[in-house]
Amino acid sequence: MMWDHSSTSWNLREEATVTETSSGSGTQAVDRAAQLVSTVVHADQPLSFAELQEASGLAKSTTSRMLTALERTGLVERDAAGCYVAGSLFWLYAARHDPWEELVRLARPSMERIGATTSETVHLSVTRGEKVVQVAQVDSRYLLGTRDWTEVEVPAHASSLGKVFYAWGALPVPRDGLEPLTVTTLTDPATLERDGVRARKRGYAVTVDELEVGLTGIAVPVHGTRGDVVAALGISGPTARLESRLDELGRHLSSQAGQLSTLLRGRSPKEGVA
């Protein structure tokens, strides 16, 4: 069987021949190769050859041949430690389409639940380069607190969403140029790093009157297939409404973000949050 993508050709004829001897059908080779790709893509972390061979139940020689073919086509690749991760074709496809469309689609139910529970504005942000960009919002149910933040460029150091990316290592903490937007804005890199340590310990990042006086934000990380932080999920609202509920709201956000992270890893929330 021959599969062609641009100048790259994938020949599974050898695997099909081996399979036909025992099953009478070359489609089993394709099924096995697809299962290897699926196992790699759905895994929480890179998988070793031994782990893939055990998960597939295939002979070592068959596993090796199939993985070699899958590597040639960019469907899987190996990291620096020699373990298997999703290949370059996946990232090429994402780059040619809206890379956040699927994330927003999957996040929308969680955001709606958070909005229904808290009645506050709900945000979903990602990084683009060294900037933090909001890609989705659910508006507050209160008259005070409703604003469209998707068109507003917010400095990451003054945003709870931005602080998530700093605290969990998705963005480096800037060494200079941190603008004091209010008297409580954190502008010293060392102070911002210590704030990040506290955020990781409690599980959520907070800004109180740091972007605007009277505005509080709470945000948590959303993890992708490799365990890396791919987004920040948060809420914002008047300080008077939120400052006494930070821990309660932080726990609620963490629960919803955990379910979303599980969806991004391709598993049902019923299977538990990793």
Are the C-beta atoms of residues 124 and 107 closer than 8 Å to each other? Answer: yes
Predicted local confidence at residue 5, as pLDDT: 41
Residues in contact with 155: Cβ distance below 8 Å, sequence separation at least 6, in sequence order: 162, 178, 179, 181, 211
> Half-sphere exposure of residue 273, counting CA atoms within 13 Å on the CB side?
10
Domain spanning 2-95 has what CATH number?
1.10.10.10
Predicted local confidence at residue 10, as pLDDT: 39
Strands 205-208 and 131-138: unpaired
Predicted local confidence at residue 98, as pLDDT: 65
Are the C-beta atoms of residues 91 and 234 closer than 8 Å to each other? Answer: no
Top CATH class, 98-271: alpha beta
Residue (of 219, 215, 213) closest to 239 by Cα position? 215
Exposed / middle / buried, residue 257 (Cβ in 10 Å: 0-12, 13-18, 19+): buried
Euclidean distance between CA atoms 153 and 60, whole angstroms: 52
Mean pLDDT of 87-103: 70
Lowest mean pLDDT among 83-92, 120-129, 179-188, 233-242: 83-92
Has residue 44 got a pLDDT over 90? no
Mean pLDDT of 182-211: 96
* Residue scoring higher pLDDT (96 or 89): 89
Q: Do domains 2-95 and 98-271 have the same CATH topology?
A: no
Task: Give the pLDDT band (50/70/90) at residue 109.
Answer: very high
Q: Using DSSP, how many helices (H) and how many strands (E) does the chain show?
A: 10, 9
Mean pLDDT of 100-109: 86
Which sequence spans correspond to the domains of the chain? 2-95, 98-271
Task: Give the pLDDT band (50/70/90) at residue 42.
Answer: confident
Has residue 154 got a pLDDT over 70? yes
- Flag whether the pTM goes above 0.75: no
